[in-house]
Each structure stands twice: as structure tokens, then as C-alpha cells.
Amino acid sequence: MPEQTSEQQEVLTLDELRDVWVVLSGTERQEGFHLLSKMEAEDFFLALPALDMSELVLALPAEERRSWIRLAPPDDVADLVQASPPEQREHLLALLDEPTRKEVAALLAYREDVAGGLMNPRYARVRPNMTVDEALVYLRNQARAHLGTIYYVYVMDETQRLVGVVSLKQLFAAAPDKTVRDVMRTDLVLVEEQTDQEAVSQLFAEHDLLAIPVVDGEGRMKGLVTVDDIVDVVQEEATEDAQKFGGMESLDAPYMKIAFLRMVKKRGGWLAALFLGEMLTATAMAHFEDQIARAVVLALFVPLIISSGGNSGSQASTLVIRAMAVGEVRLRDWWRVMRRELATGLVLGIALGCIGFLRIFLWQQVAPTYGEHYMLVAFTVFFSLIGVVTFGTLAGSLLPFVLRRVGFDPASASAPFVATLVDVTGLIIYFSVAAVMLRGALL
Amino acid sequence: MPEQTSEQQEVLTLDELRDVWVVLSGTERQEGFHLLSKMEAEDFFLALPALDMSELVLALPAEERRSWIRLAPPDDVADLVQASPPEQREHLLALLDEPTRKEVAALLAYREDVAGGLMNPRYARVRPNMTVDEALVYLRNQARAHLGTIYYVYVMDETQRLVGVVSLKQLFAAAPDKTVRDVMRTDLVLVEEQTDQEAVSQLFAEHDLLAIPVVDGEGRMKGLVTVDDIVDVVQEEATEDAQKFGGMESLDAPYMKIAFLRMVKKRGGWLAALFLGEMLTATAMAHFEDQIARAVVLALFVPLIISSGGNSGSQASTLVIRAMAVGEVRLRDWWRVMRRELATGLVLGIALGCIGFLRIFLWQQVAPTYGEHYMLVAFTVFFSLIGVVTFGTLAGSLLPFVLRRVGFDPASASAPFVATLVDVTGLIIYFSVAAVMLRGALL
């Protein structure tokens, strides 16, 4: 590392600030921000997540706030206002110019996770009867406004209804004297204001588009969602799904920033619910207490058996949840998935059963632990593993379907949830197999 | 639903074909594809994943293949070739025109998951000393070639070194007689050919860009990665992470399409490894066999105790893995994470401990199950839960750091892996607490 003189320390690059941003206090952030060049500061500001943007704006001196908030496009301003403390929202809205304030107020009426809440109300527009050359000149004027994107140009009739779309690339490549109507596409991919963001992101993935227009019930254009917003959405949805799958409520906030108590609450709720479910194992075990008293050797394999069910169930539910999230498996596929998972469960169960059998058999030769009836114990473990793994795999793969069917998020079929479900059943399978196998010998 | 006449059945819309595509056989796909209009078929073809594209091209009559493969941009052709059976690759490459074949061959030299493997080698370029008007005319000519994007224009000097970038939007909005140098940006966000795709997708998320240029070691431009490719990458990486987290190798293929045996192998390997690890619980339990024989009541709570450790561990590891994946937590943050999780684990452990204590206490009043020393049993469960949940939370949060430190993917700190790790420790904690609490009473 080159030595730093005190003068060099005054200079801060964009990347350096990005690197340390998360760990800086409000005052430090404001100081760091002021060390950037004007252009860098603008880039940095525009790329900030809504919460950081709001904190930064509110930390700045009152006279600087207006120019910064006016720099952001209306959809980002709406997010910023939504991320701000309620008592500051009026103040922030008052900093905007009148037309933008109206746009932002309209956006605030949408939920954050629907197309209307993601869209930018400013888009490039032309009329169908313009020539390509006229359209390009007209666009060159619009380019000076803050458009969401100029790269798709939306063709609207007199009633503001969307009739076509043409990319700037196509306009560029087209013969100058053709009309917009000649080169526009009319088979539009569009969404309605209330379309869920997950559905919007699937449309982007399917069609490889840079932007999708948002229309109201009458087909009038309201704004457009651009793909850069969708990259954030995809990340966000994946984080939510992962957290649900890890057995908790999704945090809805960065891990390093969420308040301790809020996080404990989000984790504690699910953990307590799972704990209450898992209490059924204690009830089930109490039911088999006599069996255990007579054959303590049975207790030794309880953790092994039930965890195998949980592990195979968590594999199956992950696969199905992800396949559903990317739109590859739908509700009506449940029957094909079930057949496939039944076969998989049996094969995996037999494999684990063999390993378990060998383990008991070989261990007994080296260090006799399991008593004279060890072969019967080994067979009990063998058959139980087949049953438990098959059941775990089936339960894990079908639970996401059941949850979706009754209107819940399939991602809630978390590893811990499946494991809890499978644990009780696993115990019942194991002790039932034991009752049959060991009758007359140990029991 | 309206009745369909035999004539209407001949017509197939794009969306209908998309809906049923996954379940169609090769011949059916080819037939469905031929029912689309030319323009729709082209859109459909260009949006297909590489594997489907390859299967479709190879299913088409030989004389049709050339025009379809030439429709795709070079980066997609490279993916298509890579997804095809090895014996078909030469044949497919031979269908291309000479310059494209060279481009594709160059792309095939890169790994699929680095920037070089994602990039499109065709981009819009201008010289720094052109005027804005000259640049726009020059671009209008380039627009007729198949460019990756025309919306970012790259400014290169005589040695092909990248010196700046200007968006088409900026060119559009700029005064016509300025030079490109006046309006271009020189603080470039760029990646090298070998940059991993996960790092590329993080750059897109941080900077909200539509495309990022790829340069070689000397700063010469090689191509550009566009954001629509990155949406796929983000989905792919999230799927991989989710599958690893579910306790298996990532499938690297759609769930509904992967061959049965290949899937069983990918799941069976991890399941067997986890099973072997979990066998340590049988060893640990054998160690405590005497304790269990004397106090069978201890066995009843084994599943409850160890699953609580597993569940809290899986929550903690999910949070840390996701925070690492989105770049929010880095290796050097381990100490802050550890302190936070230690506190969380203690709070959650005390909460579950209280619930467990109450359960035993109240249940005993209703239906005496746990013998005369039930208060001692309840305290054993209380203290064990605090220990097990704290340990599980700590282990779950630190394991991703350990894995990343030694060069593994932190997402491998899966729920089942953490649970297995925590189960053995949980048993030791539980029976050790029991030994202390129940001495002289039950033991």
C-alpha cells in the first residue's frame, strides 16, 4: 500500500465510500458524501437503497435537501418517502415541484410490491402517424426530461391508450420516411397496476425485455417498470424465500441494520411455533416409554432416524419451492412431482437403510454394543429408514403444493417446518417397525 | 371458454406455446413452433434457454437450421453450442457465417460463469473527437448490425482501448455540436474477462446499469454484458444457493427435466454424508445408555432438544449466507455477527427454555407422566435449551464464515449440515446438564 499524505486522505473515491458505507454512522456518511465530486455524489445518491437515501437526505442540512431529492426519478422518490419516518413524509413531499409531487402522491397509493409501486410514470411517447424521422426529433426533445428509459418508445392514440411499442434501436435502424405505425409492434407484453412484483420479474425473465409498460383496466398507459428495478426485486424475493426456508419470517431489512429486538421477534415467533410442534415428539416418545425401558438400545437410533427424515424432506421441499419460484413447476404438476419423489424417496431410503444396517452389523463385530439381538435391531433400523426417508421426501415435496393451494407462500415449507412435521411421524414409524421386528425377542 | 372450431385449433399464440412448452416432446415442440407467425417464432426462439434452443434447432429439418441459428446473437449461439451434444457442435458451428464463427469460437474459450462467457462481442462504438451529430449518424448505421445494445456507446481510441462511455440518452439530449469527449464519462464501471458472474451481478445491482463493458488486461474492449443476461444469472445463483442450503449438490438443470439417476446421485451423495455425520449421535447416545436406562424420562426430550438446536442454527446460517450472497456481510464482519448472534441465541434460548419448563410443569399437573422428580427434569430441559439454542445459533452463524475462509461456498452451510453438526453437541449438552441436575435423584 502506498503511504498516504494528509492531503490524499481528503480525497475519497466512489468505491471506497461504497465499501465502508454500511458501517458508517449518519454523520460520517454525510461527511463522506460531501467529499465526493458532484458527479460521483449524484451517481452514488441515485444508486442508494431507499432507506439509505432517506437517512442521507434527512441528515443533510435543510437547504441542501431540495436539490438532492429533486434529482431522483419519481418512483425512487416514492420509495424514499415510504422508507422515511411518518412525521418527515410531508416535509419531504413539500420539497418537490408541483407536477412531481402529484406523480409521487399517485405512486404512494400503490403497494410497494406491485407493478404500480415499481413503475416510473415518465416514459417516451410518440403518435402512430409520425414518420421515423419526426419521431426521432420529437424524442430528442423528450430526452432532456427525466425519463425512466428512452429506449422503448410507447405509441399512444388520442385517448392515451397504448397501441404499440417500438425500440429506439428499431427506430434508428428503420428507413427515415416510414411511419411509426409501420415499424411498431402491437403484440405487447404489459402488466396491470396491481400485478405482483414476482409475476413482473418472471415476465422480464421470459421475454428478455428492458422495460414493461404498466396499464390500467382500460388499457391506458400509467408508467413503465425498468429491468434495473427488477434485478433488485429478484434479489429481494430470493432473500425473502431463503429466510422463510430457513424457518423464520422474512426480515424485510438488511441483516446488519435491523434492530435487535425486531430481529429476535421475527425469529422467535417461528422458533416458538416449531418448538410447540416439536413438543409432539415428547408426547409420542412418552407413548413409547415402555418400549424404550425394555429396549434402551432403541433410544440410541432416535436422532439418526428422525434427522434422516428431516434431511430428505428438506431436500425435496427446496427443489419444489425453487422450481415453483422460477415458474417451472405449477400447482397442476403435483401428481408428476409426487410420483417422481416417491421413486426418489424409495431409492434414497434403501441406500441409507443399507448404510445403517452395515454400520450396526460391522460396529457390533468390533465393539459389541447392541446386545444379542443386534441383527433384529439392524433390520429395524433398515426398514425404518426406508419408511422415514420415503415419507420425508413425499411430505417435503407435497407440502409446498398444499401451502400454495390454500393460499400461503410455498416458501414457508421451510427445512425446519418439514423436519418438525417429519419428526413425529418418523418416531411413530420407527417404534411401530420395532414393535413388529422385536416382538418376542426384546419386546 | 369459447368453443373451438377445427380451424381455430390450428392457431397457437405465443403465450399458449410458452405455457405448455415444458411438457411437450421434441416433435410436438417442433410442430407447435411451426404454428407461430414468423415474428412470434423469432421472439420465442430468442427467449429460449440455451438447452431448449439447442434441442429445437437440432429437431428442425437440416435446411431450416441455418437461418435460425444465425438469428441469435453470438453470446447466445455460444451457449447453444455448449448445451448441445459434443458430436453436434462442429455441425452447428459450420452453420454460421465466417466472422460470427470466429466470435463464437472466441467466446467458447471462456468458462460459462465468468464475464467473458456472458458477454456479447458486438457493441456500439464511436471515436472521442466526433461531434454528437456525427456520432448519432454513425450509430444509425451500426444499428442495422446485430448489436448487444445500442443504448450505451463505447468510446475507443486508435488502439481499441476503452476511454469512455456515453449513453444514447445523453447523446440525444446533448447539444449537437459538442464532441463526444465533452459528454462522455471516463469513470467507468468495467469487469475483466475472468470476473465471476456473481461479482458481475453485484456490480449491476450496485450501479443500476443496463450493460457493463468487458475488457482484457490491457484495457482493450472485448464485449459487453447486458442486464437481461444478469436477471437469468441472479435467478440461477439463487437456485444454486437454495439447493445447497436444502442439503444437496445444486442440480444445474431444471427439476422437471433432469434425469432421474442424475438427480438421485446429486441428492444421495449429500444425504449419505449427512447420515454418516449423524451416526455420531448413535455413538453419543450409546455413551449415555446407562443414564437413559436409569432415567428413561430423559429419552423423551431428546428429539425436542436437538431439533431446537437445529432450527435455531438453520435460522442463523440462512441469514448470514443470504447477507453474504448480496454482499452485505463480508469475512471481516465475523466478529460483529458473532456478538449479535450470541445475544440472539441467549434470548431465544431463554424463551424456549421457559416454554419447555412450563410445558413439563403444567402437563405434570394434568397427567403425571414424568415421575416424582419432574421439577428436576423441567430444570434440566430449561438449562439444556438455553445451551443448545445458543450453541446452535452461534454454530449456524459462524459456519458460513469458516466455509468461506477455507475457500468453500458459504451456501453449503445448509440447514441439514448445521442440524447434523448441532445434534451431537446438543446431546452432549443435554446429558451433561442432566448428569449435574439429576445426581442423587434419578442418576
Number of C-beta neighbours around residue B69 at 10 A: 23
Tell the residue number behind the cell numbers 475483466, with chain if given: B192
Q: What is the pLDDT of residue B239?
A: 81
Rounded to a whole number of angstroms, the distance from the CA of B41 to the nearest CA of chain A is: 13
The set of residues, in sequence order, having a beta carbon less than 8 Å from that of A188 and lying 6+ positions away, is A162, A164, A165, A213
Rounded to a whole number of angstroms, the distance from the CA of B159 to the nearest CA of chain A is: 27
Q: How far apart are CA A18 and CA A11, in angstroms?
A: 14
Backbone phi and psi for residue B79, each to the nearest 5 degrees, phi listed first: -65, -40
Q: Which residues of B touch A420 (CB under 8 A)?
A: 307, 311
Fold observed for domain A260-437: Tetracycline Repressor; domain 2 (1.10.357)
The set of residues, in sequence order, having a beta carbon less than 8 Å from that of B8 and lying 6+ positions away, is none
Among A79, A212, A296, which would you mutate to test the B interface (most chain B Cβ atoms within 10 Å of its Cβ)? A296
Residues B180/B132, Cβ–Cβ less than 8 Å: yes
Q: Which residues of B touch A291 (CB under 8 A)?
A: none
Rounded to a whole number of angstroms, the distance from the CA of A169 to the nearest CA of chain B is: 6
* pTM: predicted TM-score of the whole model, two decimal places: 0.72
Q: At the top level of CATH, which class does the domain B124-226 belong to? A: alpha beta
- β-pair type (B162-167, B191-192): unpaired
Q: What is the pLDDT of residue A184?
A: 93
How would residue A329 be classed by pLDDT, with cut points 50, 70 and 90?
confident
Q: Do A242 and B246 touch (CB under 8 A)?
A: no
From B279, B289, B348, residue closest to A267, measured CB to CB: B348
Give the percent of chain A with pLDDT over 90: 29
Domain ranges of chain B: 6-109, 124-226, 260-437
Q: C-alpha grid cell for residue B260? A: 432421474
Rounded to a whole number of angstroms, the distance from the CA of A413 to the nearest CA of chain B is: 11
From A260, A268, A315, residue closest to B267, measured CB to CB: A315
Q: Which residues of A touch B206 (CB under 8 A)?
A: 18, 47
Q: What is the pLDDT of residue B3?
A: 40
Residues B211/B151, Cβ–Cβ less than 8 Å: yes
Q: How far apart are CA B396 and CA B421, in angstroms?
A: 9
Query: Distance from CA of residue B442 to its chain's centroid?
Result: 51
Q: Which residues of A touch B292 (CB under 8 A)?
A: 292, 296, 299
Q: Half-sphere exposure of B258 toward its Cβ, with a 13 Å CA cutoff?
A: 21
**Fold agreement between B124-226 and B260-437:** no
From A185, A232, A319, residue closest to B205, measured CB to CB: A232
Q: What is the pLDDT of residue B10?
A: 52
Q: Which residues of B touch A271 (CB under 8 A)?
A: 308, 311-312, 315, 348, 351-352, 389
The pLDDT tens digits of the residues spanning A191-214 come to: 999 998 888 888 887 777 888 999
How many separate helices (H) and strands (E) can be counted in chain B? 22, 6
From A228, A268, A351, residue closest to B351, measured CB to CB: A268
Q: Do A302 and B304 touch (CB under 8 A)?
A: no
Amino acid at A50: A
Fold observed for domain A6-109: MgtE N-terminal fold (1.25.60)
Evaluated on CA atoms B419, B422, B428, B432, the torsion sign reads negative
From B207, B307, B348, residue closest to A264, measured CB to CB: B348
Nearest Cα neighbor of B126 from B95, B96, B70, B165 is B165
Number of C-beta neighbours around residue A295 at 10 A: 20
Residues A93/A81, Cβ–Cβ less than 8 Å: yes
Q: In what order do the strands lie in the sheet with A152-156?
A: A124-126, A152-156, A162-167
The pLDDT tens digits of the residues spanning A383-395 come to: 999 999 999 999 9
Helices (H), B296-414: 297-300, 302-325, 334-366, 374-405
Give the count of Cβ contacts less than 8 A between chain A and B: 366
Q: What is the pLDDT of residue B176?
A: 85
Rounded to a whole number of angstroms, the distance from the CA of B371 to the nearest CA of chain A is: 12
Quote ipTM for the complex.
0.71
Rounded to a whole number of angstroms, the distance from the CA of B261 to the nearest CA of chain A is: 9
Considering only alpha carbons, which residue of chain A is nearest residue B245? Answer: A318
Q: Which residues of B touch A185 (CB under 8 A)?
A: 39
Which of A23-32, A78-87, B280-289 is the least confident region?
A23-32
Q: How far apart are CA A211 and CA A188, in angstroms?
A: 11
Q: C-alpha grid cell for residue B33? A: 413452433
Residues belonging to chain B: 443
Q: What is the pLDDT of residue A308?
A: 92
The DSSP annotation for B353-380 comes to HHHHHHHHHHHHHHS--S-TTHHHHHHH
The pLDDT tens digits of the residues spanning B246-284 come to: 777 887 777 877 888 888 888 888 888 888 888 888 888
Q: Is pLDDT of A5 > 60? A: no
Q: Do B310 and A416 touch (CB under 8 A)?
A: yes
Backbone phi and psi for residue A15, each to the nearest 5 degrees, phi listed first: -70, -35
**Below-50 pLDDT ranges, chain B:** 1-9
Q: Which residues of B touch A276 (CB under 8 A)?
A: 355
The answer regarding whether domain A124-245 maps to CATH 3.10.580.10 reads yes
Residues B173/A140, Cβ–Cβ less than 8 Å: yes
Which of A160-169, A339-348, B17-26, B45-54 is the least confident region?
B17-26
First to last CA, chain B: 73
Q: How far apart are CA B72 and CA A424, in angstroms?
A: 54
